[in-house]
């Protein structure tokens, strides 16, 4: 692996701003000196992810992840340290010269690289003679050259191995080819997954291509659209098409338009409706909603005006409701799709339809197919709705929705509540949130070490100046606390971001960032600090006394002479008692 000089790493760390970087992924709001938002590493409804600009570190009090700007990029992108540094260097214009020329052989880095090569390859084909048919199709659909180039659309030809031949020159390992999702295998060998298709690059929040969606051009394929399979860098349940390009517009509006298809997205974006995303033709998931909630409070679902599109919109509406996002559903004409409809009626009329959207319950009832004059149909519809309401965790939203359903279907509240309870009992929560920071400091010595770490991080000179020379890190027995103490004791200035790089293990770095975060709101006294110092000095003496007493009992049981052990115990006890005087001496140092 290539090595980057420490001075370059220091320059990038000092140049980059963690608030600037994290804001690209998380909608952050100031709370006191820090900023909070929904964690990008786990699903949550209440923000517990915090960024401290003054310390240039982050920590999630929900899942426990934490670190500095480099470890954030590593964690989010699933890339190695060197690649995270390179990415930040590129963003902030810091030139990076490696001390070794070897290219990183890590899987995630190669997967990103091979997808970038594929984007360039397919985009080049689109503007060649081989891509004339695809380019003509895009032109007839009304897509401008600016849109095609902005979203780096491409196409694949009729060859079985066009991309395969292209990547062979880059010497990617076989594992990368197999796990990229860009190729398939048969008894005859490996071949391109996408043939005769217009290709839409699917990009993650940091602008890296992670997958493709492909529309058939031949008219011979059973699958009109073909998406990349899930890979180590692509989880279709967590990535929304176009979000990287539109998140700032969404954040500004605090509202989002959700579409199904790639061409729907591109057409609306080209027409000037920019606070939107597409689901790549898949169902809207809880993971998608978690992404949406970071940028928007309400969502407008503009799905196709056929039976399948409306059913998908209803399901998506309830998924948004369960996730705490207020949905409305756009009523498209029968058999219309957003792409063709906006070209027919124009931007203003489409926007009017968006903001006159229908509540999910009204939309569900209207398109349910049930005859509400028949009690049996009303019961069936109530059962269908109860299935959706059972998943709503917010009691206020659930109660409000129950009342609306009760009024719309003329069903008593308690009947609906019983339906929901029965449904809830059948459901099983398949996920459990575990706290990666299950480490607790329970012993007096551990608590004393933790207290002193917080003091050192806090940097209270009125306490530290007279007492720092009396704090011995040799007495810190917990390895993470010892490492923190060593670094804080020698640091000339507080640089928590640099300090966290000393922790290579993710769990250790998470715990260290948590401790440093908690130090900010910590208060202590001179006397409490002295007591911690004395506690740490007592700990080894008490341990030795305990061990000697065990030996003493063993010798007495055997009838052997134990006088020398008894003498040592008395000496240790005397040393322990003398710490009372030492405590008084330290207290007298208080300014």
Segment (H or E) for 543: helix 526-558
User: Distances in Å between the alpha carbon of 185 and those of 111, 157, 182, 192, 505?
Assistant: 18, 18, 10, 9, 37
Count the Cβ atoms, other than its own, within 10 Å of residue 290.
Answer: 21
Asked if residue 338 has pLDDT above 50, the reply is yes
Residue 217 structure tokens: 């051009």
Alpha helices in 16-59 (DSSP H): 18-22
Torsions phi, psi for 523 (to 5 deg) = -125, 145
Number of domains in the chain: 4
Q: Is residue 311 part of a domain?
A: yes
Pick the more confident residue, 248 or 274. 274
Q: Which of 112, 241, 252 is nearest to 182 (CA)?
A: 112
Residue 491 pLDDT exceeds 80: no
Average pLDDT over residues 272-284: 93
Please identify which residue in the block is written with the tokens 């998924």.
319
Phi then psi for residue 371, to 5 deg, are -95, 105
- CATH number assigned to the domain comprising residue 419: 3.40.1360.10
CB 362 within 8 A of CB 409: no
Residue 431 lies in a domain: no
Q: Cβ contacts of residue 495 below 8 Å, gap of 6+?
A: 56
Residues 467 and 381 in one domain: no
- Identify the three-state secondary structure at position 529: helix
Total-model pTM: 0.66
CB neighbours of residue 216 within 10 Å: 17
Q: Which run of H or of E encompasses 299?
A: strand 298-301
- 573: tokens are 């006890």
Among 426, 458, 473, identify where a domain stops: 426
CA dist 434 and 451 (Å) reads 26
Look at residue 436 in the predicted model and tell me its pLDDT.
32
Strands of the sheet with 326-329, listed across from one edge:
276-278, 255-259, 298-301, 326-329
Do 173 and 311 belong to one domain? no
From the CB of residue 89, how many other CB atoms can be counted at a distance below 10 Å? 19
How would you class 15 by CB atoms within 10 Å of its CB: exposed for 0-12, middle for 13-18, buried for 19 or more?
Answer: middle
* pLDDT for position 439: 47
Under the banding of pLDDT at 50, 70 and 90, the label for residue 9 is confident
Same-domain check for residues 169 and 256: no
Based on the fold, state whether residues 136 and 165 are members of the same structural domain: yes
pLDDT at 57: 92
Helix (H) or strand (E) holding 209: strand 209-216
Across 33-47, 82-96, 551-565, least confident range: 551-565
CB 16 within 8 A of CB 88: yes
- Alpha-carbon gap, residue 59 to 26, rounded angstroms: 13
- Nearest alpha-carbon partner for 177 in 113, 103, 223, 81: 113
User: Cα–Cα distances in Å, from 170 out to 110, 117, 188, 300?
Assistant: 10, 9, 22, 44
What is the C-alpha to C-alpha distance for residues 248 and 294, in angstroms, rounded to an integer? 11
Check whether residue 178 and residue 223 sit in a common domain: yes
Residue 291 forms part of a structural domain: yes
At residue 99, does pLDDT exceed 80? no
| Pair 293, 409 in one domain | yes
State the average pLDDT over residues 385-400: 82
Q: Is 257 part of a structural domain of the chain? A: yes
Determine whether 198 is exposed, middle or buried from the number of CB atoms within 10 Å of its CB (0-12, 13-18, 19+): buried
CA-CA distances (angstroms) from residue 206 to 5, 112, 572? 25, 11, 60
pLDDT of residue 442: 67
Last residue of one domain, picked from the residues 426, 460, 476: 426
Contact 285, 258 (CB under 8 A): no
Tokens of 15: 């140049």
Query: Residue 360 falls within a domain, yes or no?
Result: yes
For residue 97, is it within any domain? no
Q: Which two tokens stand for residue 508?
A: 């250790």
Task: Give residue for tokens 């530290």.
Answer: 464
Do residues 287 and 323 both lie within one domain? yes
Q: With a cut of 50, say whether residue 104 has pLDDT above it.
A: no
**Final residue in a domain of this structure, among 426, 461, 483:** 426
Cα–Cα distance for residue pair 591/587, rounded to 1 Å = 9
**Which H/E stretch holds residue 58?**
strand 57-60
Mean of pLDDT over the chain: 86
Residue 202, Cβ neighbours under 10 Å: how many? 23
> Based on the domain organization, do 204 and 260 belong to the same domain?
no
Tell me which residue of 504, 448, 457, 506 sits closest to 478, measured CA to CA. Answer: 448
- Measure the CA–CA gap between 340 and 268, rounded to whole angstroms: 10
Q: Does one domain contain both 404 and 470?
A: no
Q: Which two tokens stand for residue 412?
A: 């008593």
- The whole-number pLDDT of residue 476 equals 85
Beta bridge partners of 258: 277, 301
In a domain, 558, yes or no: yes
Instruction: Mark whether 80 and 202 lie in a shared domain.
Output: no
According to DSSP, the β-strands at 66-68 and 154-156 are unpaired
CA-CA distance, 120 to 159, in Å (whole number)? Answer: 17
C-alpha 27/C-alpha 156 separation (Å) is 37
**pLDDT score for 267:** 97
The pLDDT tens digits for 420-466 are 887 766 654 433 333 333 345 667 888 888 888 888 887 777 887 88
Q: Are residues 498 and 559 in the same domain?
A: yes
What are the CA-CA distances from residue 292 to residues 239, 261, 327 (Å)?
A: 10, 17, 12
Q: Give me the mean pLDDT over the 368-390 stretch.
A: 86
Closest CA to 279 of 255, 249, 309: 309
pLDDT in tens, 413-432: 888 888 888 776 665 443 33
Among 322-336, 367-381, 478-492, 516-530, name the most confident range.
322-336
We report the CATH number of the domain holding residue 182 as: 3.90.980.10
Quote the CA–CA distance of 93 and 112 in Å, as a whole number: 21
Decide the pairing of beta strands 57-60 and 66-68.
antiparallel
Tell me, yes or no, whether 285 lies in a domain: yes
Mean pLDDT of 94-108: 61
Contact predicate 13/497, CB 8 Å: yes
Residue 282 is encoded by which pair of tokens? 């898949």
Query: 198 and 81: one domain?
Result: no
Instruction: Please give the residue range of the domain that contains residue 352.
Output: 247-426
Residue with tokens 């197999």: 178
Give the distance between the most distant pair of CA atoms in the chain: 104
Question: Can you name the residues that pair with 202 across neighbouring β-strands?
Answer: 211
State the pLDDT confidence band at 103, using cuts at 50, 70 and 90.
very low
Q: What percent of the chain has pLDDT over 90?
A: 39
Residues 248 and 274: their CA atoms lie apart, in Å, by 9
């Amino acid at each position: 692996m290539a090595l980057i000089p420490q001075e370059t790493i220091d320059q990038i760390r000092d140049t980059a701003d963690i608030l600037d970087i994290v804001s690209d992924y998380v909608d952050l709001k100031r709370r006191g000196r820090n900023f909070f938002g929904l964690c990008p590493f786990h699903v949550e409804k209440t923000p517990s992810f915090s960024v401290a600009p003054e310390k240039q570190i982050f920590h999630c009090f929900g899942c426990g992840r934490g670190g500095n700007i480099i470890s954030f990029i590593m964690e989010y992108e699933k890339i190695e340290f060197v690649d995270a540094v390179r990415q930040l260097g590129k963003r902030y214009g810091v030139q990076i010269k490696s001390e070794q020329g070897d290219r990183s052989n890590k899987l995630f880095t190669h997967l990103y690289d091979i997808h970038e090569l594929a984007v360039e390859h397919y985009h080049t084909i689109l503007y060649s003679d081989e891509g004339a048919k695809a380019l003509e199709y895009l032109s007839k659909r009304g897509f401008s050259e600016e849109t095609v180039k902005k979203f780096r659309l491409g196409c694949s030809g009729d060859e079985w191995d066009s991309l395969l031949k292209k990547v062979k020159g880059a010497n990617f390992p076989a594992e990368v080819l197999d796990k990229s999702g860009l190729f398939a295998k048969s008894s005859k060998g490996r071949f391109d997954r996408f043939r005769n298709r217009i290709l839409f690059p699917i990009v993650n929040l940091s602008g890296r291509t992670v997958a493709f969606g492909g529309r058939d051009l031949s008219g011979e394929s059973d699958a009109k659209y073909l998406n990349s399979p899930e890979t180590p860098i692509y989880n279709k349940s967590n990535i929304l098409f176009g979000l990287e390009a539109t998140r700032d517009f969404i954040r500004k509006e605090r509202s989002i338009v959700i579409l199904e298809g790639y061409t729907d997205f591109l057409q609306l974006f080209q027409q000037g409706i920019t606070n939107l995303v597409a689901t790549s033709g898949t169902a809207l998931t809880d993971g998608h909603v978690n992404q949406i909630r970071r940028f928007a409070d309400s969502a407008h679902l503009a799905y196709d005006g056929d039976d399948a599109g409306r059913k998908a919109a209803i399901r998506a509406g309830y998924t948004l409701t369960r996730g705490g996002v207020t949905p409305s559903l756009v009523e498209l004409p029968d058999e219309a799709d957003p792409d063709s409809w906006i070209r027919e009626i124009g931007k203003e009329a489409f926007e009017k339809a968006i903001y006159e959207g229908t509540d999910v319950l009204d939309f569900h009832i209207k398109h349910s197919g049930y005859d509400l004059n028949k009690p049996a149909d009303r019961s069936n519809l109530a059962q269908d709705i109860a299935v959706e309401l059972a998943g709503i965790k917010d009691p206020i939203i659930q109660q409000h929705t129950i009342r609306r359903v009760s009024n719309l279907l003329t069903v008593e509240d308690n009947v609906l509540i019983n339906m929901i309870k029965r449904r809830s009992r059948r459901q099983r929560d398949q996920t459990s949130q575990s706290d990666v920071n299950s480490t607790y400091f329970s012993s007096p010595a551990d608590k004393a070490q933790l207290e002193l770490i917080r003091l050192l991080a806090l940097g209270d000179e009125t306490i530290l100046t007279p007492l720092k020379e009396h704090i011995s890190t040799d007495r810190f027995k917990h390895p993470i606390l010892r490492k923190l103490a060593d670094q804080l004791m020698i640091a000339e200035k507080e640089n928590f971001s640099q300090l966290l790089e000393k922790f290579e293990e993710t769990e250790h770095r998470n715990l260290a960032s948590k401790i440093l975060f908690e130090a900010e709101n910590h208060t202590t006294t001179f006397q409490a600090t002295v007591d911690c110092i004395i506690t740490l000095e007592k700990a080894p003496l008490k341990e030795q006394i305990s061990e000697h007493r065990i030996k003493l009992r063993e010798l007495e049981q055997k009838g052997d002479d134990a006088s020398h052990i008894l003498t040592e115990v008395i000496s240790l006890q005397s040393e322990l008692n003398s710490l009372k005087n030492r405590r008084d001496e330290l207290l007298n140092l208080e300014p």
